[in-house]
A and B are shown apart, each in its own frame.
Chain A
Amino acid sequence: MSLPFKLVLQLNVAVSTSHCGMRPRQGLVELFSTFLAFDADRVQGWVADARLRRRMERCLTESASPPTSDAFWGVYWHKAWQTQTDRLARDHLAAYVQEVCYWVAHKATAYLERSPDTISDCFQTTIAQLDKVLQGFDAKRHFSFKSYANLKFNSLLKDTLRQRRVVDICTPWALLLKLSKRRLVEALQTAGVSADTTQRYVLAWDCFKALYAPAAPATSTRKLSKPNRTTWDAITTLYHQRAAQLTDRSRVSPDTLEQWLMTCATAARQYLYPTWVSMNAPKPRQEDSEFLDALGQLDTDTTLAGLEAQETRLQADQVSQVLQVAIDQLEPSAQTLLHLYYVQGLTQQQIAQQLGVQQYTICRQISRIKRSLQRRLLEWSQETLHNSANLDVLESVSTALDEWLSVHLASSLG
C-alpha cells in the first residue's frame, strides 16, 4: 500500500535556553543517545549514555554515506526494534523522544489545576508509555516517528491522568466494572500472573460483570460496595458453568473468587501507577560483546524510507502551502477556532466557555473545519498523485492533517 504522500514534519521544539535550562540537542549522535536529567522538578540538563553514544557514532562512521535526517534514524531504529535485530534500538528511540515527552508533559501540567503531578512526574508517566508508541507506529501510515510520538504521547498522557483521577476515588468493585478485557489482561501480565491463572481470573471477572451492577446510571458508579453473599454465590455458580463449558472442571469457593477479583483490582490499580522503569537514567554497565557487533546491513526498505523522507521535504512544503491557503480562505470565525485550539492549545471546554456555547458545539465545529481541510488535501493529492479515494488514502490524509495541525500550525503561528 502506498501513501498518497509522505510528510516529514520537523518538530520545532524551539526552546529558549532560559526555559527550564533545556538547550536544544545538536546532531544525530546526541539526539539518539542523551537523556533529560531532572533535579526534583527542574531540568538539570542532558546526560549521555556512553553505550548509546558509541553505538550511534559507529553507525554513522560505518556506513558509506549515512542519512543525515533524524526522521530516517527514527524509522531505522523502529525497524530494528520491530525485527528485534538490535537490543539497543528501544533505548535509542527513548533518547530520541525526550523533548517530545517533555513538552507533552509541560502542556498537560498546564491543564491540571491543583494537581499533585509535577512536570517530572508527568514526564515519567509519559515516557513510560513508550512501548505503546513503538507498537502503534507504522512507517507506512505515519509520517515520522517523532510527530506520531507527539500525538500518541499526548493522548496517552491525557488518558492516563484522567483515568488515575477516577481510579483514585473508585472502590475495587467499581474499578472492576471500568476495565476493558485487554487492560485487565495487561495488568495481570505486568503483575506477573501466569497465563493459565490469568485465564481463570478473566473468566471470574466476566462472571462478576454479568451479575453485578450499579443500581442505575444516575447513581455513582465509583463508590460501589462489595457484592452481597447471594451475588457471590450466583457468581460462583456461573463461574462453574462457564468453566465447565470451557472444559475446566475445577471447583472454587465464593471466597476464592472474591480473592481473585481483589487481585485483579489491585493489579489494575498498580498498572496505572507503574514504578518507573529506570530507562531514563543512563546506567553505566560493563560493555559486553553486544556493542562490538558490526553494524548490520541497512535493509533496503528502511533505506528507501529514508530516501523518500529526504525527497518529500518539498512535498511537505507543498502540503503546508495547500493547507495554509485553505486555512486563509476559511471564515474568520473558523480561523479563530483553529488558532485557539491548535496554537493556543486551549481545550474544547475552555473555548466553549470563552465563546459561551456547549462543548459539543465546539467539537462539531472543529470537526467540520477539519473535514473541509481534509477534502482540500484529498483533492490536491488526487491532482498531483492521481490516486483514487479509498480508506487508506482517506486515513493517511486525516493523519497528515492531524500531524500538520498539531505540529506545524502550532509552531508556525505560535
Chain B
Amino acid sequence: MISPVFAAEPTDIYLTPSPTAWQQVAPLCSRSSRRWMAQIHQLCLDAVLQWLRTDYPRAIATPINQVSYWEFVDGCAVELDRTTHPLRLVFIPSTALDTSELRVAQEWVDLPSWVGHCYLPVQVEPDDGWMRVWGFVTHRRLKQQGVYDAGDRTYAVTAEQLIQDMNVLWEAYELCPQELAQVPLAALPPLSLAQAENLIARLGSPEIVLPQFELPFAQWGALLEHGGWRQRLYQRRVGLPEQWSVRQWLTVQVSQLAEQAGWERIEVGSMAGARGSGDRTSSVLLSRSLHIAEQSYQLQIFPEGAMEQNIWRFELRRLPTSAETDSPSIPQGTKLRLLTEDLQPFDNNEATAQTTVDRLYIVVALTPGEGLVWEVEPTPEGYQREILRF
C-alpha cells in the first residue's frame, strides 16, 4: 500500500470508505468501462454524503439514483438542504494520479436543471482505498475562466484556478451565498415526442459507444434533461425491460428502478388506520413518499374501478407529524399536476389547494400505453421527472 501521506494537504478533505464499500455490486451500465466508473461514482457519492452529513444532516443526492447520468457523463450531484439558500454541489471523481486540472462535462455546466453552484474534483485511489476532495470552483468561474474543449465537450480549469480550501466554500455559503450564484442559463428548445422517440430508438443501441457525440449538444441536452427520457434511453442501452409500467407494478411487482426511485406497492388491507379509503375500489395501490418544505407527503396512484377501464386516480396527502393528532392538512397553494410525456398540459390536469385541504387529487382516463409525468409544487426534495406508463 502506498501511504497517502504525500497526498494530504492541509486543505484536502480526505475520505476513506470502509473496505467493504469497494466490494459493492457495480451499477448496471452498457459497457464494462462505464460500469467501472459508475462504481467509482457510487463510492464517491456515498463517502461524500457521509462527510457532508456531519455538518449538513439533510444533504441528499439529487436524484437519489444517478446511474442514468453515469452511463453518459462523469459527476454526481448532492444538495445541501437549506430551503432559503439551496446549495447544489457536483463532485467529479477521477482516477488520475495528478491533480493538475478539473474537467467538467458540458451537461453539468450548461443544462439548467443539472447545473451546480460549485464543482469539486475528487481524486480516487481504488488500490489504497482512499479519495480526496482537493478544491472547488464556482459555476460562474468555470463558465468565465474554463476552457471549453469541443473535442470532448468539457470545460476545463487548471488546478491554479480552483480554490483549494473547502472552508472558503462553507464560509461563503454562510456569509455571502450570493457569491455562489450561478450564471443564468437559457433553456434549451424542447424536443417533440416524435423527435425524442427517434433519438431514443437510435441512441439506445449500446453499439453506439458515445451517443452524446452523435448529435448537436442542444438536442442531446434536451433529451437528457427530461428525466423520463433519460431513464428510457439508459434502460434501452443496458437492456432492461420497461421499468415504468404502472399496470405491471400493480399486478406483478414494482420494478427495481421504480423501487429505487421510492415507489412501493401497498395492499390496502394492510394500511393501518387508512383514512378516507371509502372511495377506493382497488385493493392494491402504488405509493411513494415525498418531502415538501420539511413535511412528509404521500403520492398514491390507483385505478378507479377495474384496471381495464384505464381510469386512474393520483392523490396527494400529507402525513401527520408526531406532534399532530388531527388529520394533517395540505397548505394553501400546493399544486398537483399531470403532463403528457412531452410535458404538455391537458384539460383538468391540475389540482390546486385554494385553502388548506386534506388531500389533492386528479382523475384521468387514459388510452392504453399512454405515458404521464407528475409534478408537485413546491418541488419535492430530490424530485426527478419520470414517465409512468398506463
B97:A221 contact, CB within 8 angstroms: no
B14:A180 contact, CB within 8 angstroms: no
**Interface of B with A (CB < 8 Å)?**
2-16, 22-23, 26, 31-37, 39-40, 43, 51, 54, 94-101, 103, 126-127, 138, 151-152, 156, 158, 160, 163-168, 170-172, 175-176, 179-180, 209-210, 213
Determine how close the nearest CB of chain B comes to the CB of A46; give it in whole angstroms: 30
A159:B163 contact, CB within 8 angstroms: no
Q: Which residues of A contact B13 (CB under 8 A)?
A: 363, 367
Contact A367-B166, Cβ < 8 Å, known A155-B9, A375-B171, A388-B176: yes
B170:A371 contact, CB within 8 angstroms: yes
14 A-B pairs, CB-CB below 8 angstroms? A111-B5, A163-B97, A178-B97, A179-B98, A181-B156, A199-B151, A217-B39, A222-B127, A241-B209, A242-B213, A366-B10, A389-B171, A389-B172, A394-B176
Q: Mark the stretch among A80-88, A208-216, A287-295 that contacts chain B.
A: A208-216
Residue of B nearest to A363 (CB): B14
Give A136 to B159 CA distance when docked, in angstroms: 9
Q: Which residues of A contact B51 (CB under 8 A)?
A: 360
Between B22, B126, B158, B165, the greatest number of chain A beta carbons within 10 A of the residue's beta carbon is seen for B165
**Interface of A with B (CB < 8 Å)?**
111, 135-136, 155, 158-159, 161-163, 165-167, 177-183, 186, 199, 202-203, 206, 209-218, 220-222, 234, 238, 241-242, 245-246, 341, 347-350, 358-360, 363-364, 366-367, 370-371, 374-375, 378, 388-391, 394-395, 398, 402, 405-406
B96:A183 contact, CB within 8 angstroms: yes
Q: A166-B97, A182-B98, A216-B36 are in contact. List 20 more A-B contacts (CB 8 A).
A: A111-B6, A135-B160, A158-B6, A162-B7, A180-B100, A183-B96, A183-B98, A183-B101, A218-B126, A241-B209, A349-B5, A363-B8, A367-B166, A367-B167, A378-B171, A390-B179, A394-B176, A395-B168, A405-B10, A406-B10
Determine how close the nearest CB of chain B comes to the CB of A409; give it in whole angstroms: 12
Contact A217-B98, Cβ < 8 Å, known A209-B33, A391-B179, A402-B11: no
Determine how close the nearest CB of chain B comes to the CB of A158; give it in whole angstroms: 4
A213:B2 contact, CB within 8 angstroms: no
Q: Which residues of A contact B151 (CB under 8 A)?
A: 199, 202-203, 206, 246
Give A111 to B332 CA distance when docked, in angstroms: 64
Contact partner of B95 (CB less than 8 A), chosen from A177, A241, A375, is A177
Give A400 to B278 CA distance when docked, in angstroms: 68
Q: Which residues of B contact A370 (CB under 8 A)?
A: 10, 165, 167
Q: Which residues of B contact A186 (CB under 8 A)?
A: 100
Give A394 to B176 CA distance when docked, in angstroms: 10
Between B3, B6, B22, the greatest number of chain A beta carbons within 10 A of the residue's beta carbon is seen for B6
Give A211 to B206 CA distance when docked, in angstroms: 12
Residue of A nearest to B180 (CB): A391
Determine how close the nearest CB of chain A comes to the CB of B212; give it in whole angstroms: 11
Closest 6 CB pairs of A and B: A162-B6, A213-B33, A213-B36, A158-B6, A182-B101, A180-B96
Give A218 to B128 CA distance when docked, in angstroms: 10
Determine how close the nearest CB of chain A comes to the CB of B29; give it in whole angstroms: 10
A211:B209 contact, CB within 8 angstroms: yes
Determine how close the nearest CB of chain A comes to the CB of B342; give it in whole angstroms: 28
Give A367 to B176 CA distance when docked, in angstroms: 20
Give A347 to B10 CA distance when docked, in angstroms: 9
B6:A394 contact, CB within 8 angstroms: no
Q: Which residues of B contact A234 (CB under 8 A)?
A: 209
B33:A210 contact, CB within 8 angstroms: yes
Determine how close the nearest CB of chain A comes to the CB of B168; give it in whole angstroms: 5
Give A290 to B344 CA distance when docked, in angstroms: 73
Contact A162-B2, Cβ < 8 Å, known A348-B8, A378-B171: yes
Q: Which residues of A contact B152 (CB under 8 A)?
A: 181, 206
Give A31 to B103 CA distance when docked, in angstroms: 39
Q: Which residues of A contact B179 (CB under 8 A)?
A: 390-391
Q: Which residues of B contact A206 (CB under 8 A)?
A: 151-152
Q: Which residues of A contact B168 (CB under 8 A)?
A: 391, 394-395, 398
Q: Which residues of A contact B40 (CB under 8 A)?
A: 217
Determine how close the nearest CB of chain A comes to the CB of B137; give it in whole angstroms: 11
Q: Which residues of A contact B95 (CB under 8 A)?
A: 177-178, 221
Contact partner of A217 (CB less than 8 A), chosen from B43, B165, B213, is B43
Q: Which residues of B contact A394 (CB under 8 A)?
A: 168, 171-172, 175-176
A360:B172 contact, CB within 8 angstroms: no
Q: Which residues of B contact A158 (CB under 8 A)?
A: 5-7, 9
Determine how close the nearest CB of chain A comes to the CB of B341; give it in whole angstroms: 30
Give A241 to B208 CA distance when docked, in angstroms: 10
Determine how close the nearest CB of chain A comes to the CB of B370; give it in whole angstroms: 36
Contact partner of B172 (CB less than 8 A), chosen from A181, A363, A367, A391, is A391
Q: Which residues of B contact A181 (CB under 8 A)?
A: 101, 103, 152, 156
Give A280 to B62 CA distance when docked, in angstroms: 53
Determine how close the nearest CB of chain A comes to the CB of B149; give it in whole angstroms: 8
Residue of B nearest to A177 (CB): B95
Q: Which residues of B contact A374 (CB under 8 A)?
A: 167, 171
Give A170 to B165 CA distance when docked, in angstroms: 31
Residue of B nearest to A180 (CB): B96
